[in-house]
Amino acid sequence: MTQIIDGKKISKEIKDELKEKVSALAAEGIEKCLAVIQVGADPASSVYVNNKKKACEYIGIRSLAYELPAETTEEELLELIRELNGRADVDGMIVQLPLPAQINEERVLLAIDPAKDVDGFHPMSVGNLSIGRPGFVSCTPAGIIQLLKRSGIEISGKECVVIGRSNIVGKPMGMLLLRENGTVTICHSRTKDLRQVCKRADILVVAIGKPLFIDETYVKEGAVVIDVGIHRDENNKLCGDVDFERVAPHCSAITPVPGGVGPMTIAMLMSNCVFGPQ
């Protein structure tokens, strides 16, 4: 029978563990604090930011919300980041992306102190991951490792294929699977014969950004399939990059959309804030 990996349940477990940890820290007089910066009022960003605030509240992390107007200049945002970098009471900060056109995203991410980079997007965090030093790890791929481990799925020695090479999902996913001793292949838009490469995978992570792209012809019988994609179909229903109905019967385990990878991202952001660089 195919195991449906329950990201909702696992993310709740993680948040409950964090809640306990935060209350133990509070008993020692230590408080954790996350600063969340949003520039402009993009509706999707507002939903994400709100969910992050709610998760902080649940766990007992103090959150500082900065809702800046859309016309904020790059210098004004950098000034706020510098101030937060210098504040001893702030453990982590995130700048919700995308940013308005007048602000250079790269300069902003570079300005965040790597010791507070809980999103794991700073080049220092990425570099630490690639050379095996402790550092903050991008939350979505970190969440996928937790999904696998907490579902009893062994990574060591497995053929792991990642589709997608983005800086926030595909590349860090490859590095993390490697850190867990998987044998890793990263595929992208120029990969020749994607289907054949995917068919090798014991663990297939799909972060391609195309609805229902992966069907059963890409999947080896008994593989584990992790679907990172989030889309709305023509009926406004959420779906992933994987055609769940067609693929699930061929897998040993699979994540659904919604309720798979999605809920893990915020749980890992909270974990980064509580535990610091790992």
Catalytic residues: 52, 96, 119
| Cα separation values, 89 from 35, 155, 227, 235, Å | 10, 38, 37, 46
Closer to ligand NAD by Cβ: residue 68 or 261: 261
The binding site for ligand NAD (CB under 6 A) comprises 140, 163-166, 168-170, 187-189, 191, 194, 207-210, 228-230, 261-262, 265
CB of 45 to ligand NAD, least distance (A): 13
DSSP state of 217: G
Among 244, 240, 241, CA closest to 253 = 244
CA triple 199-201-206, angle to 5 deg:
90
CB of 48 to ligand NAD, least distance (A): 9
What element of type H or E holds 106?
A: helix 105-111
194-221 in b/e form (b: 16+ CB < 10 A) is beebbbebbbbbbbbeebbbbebebbbe
Whether 177 and 203 have beta carbons less than 8 Å apart is answered as yes
Give the span between the Cα atoms of 163 and 86, in whole angstroms. 39
CB of 109 to ligand NAD, least distance (A): 15
CB of 262 to ligand NAD, least distance (A): 4
Give the span between the Cα atoms of 226 and 158, in whole angstroms. 14
CB of 275 to ligand NAD, least distance (A): 19
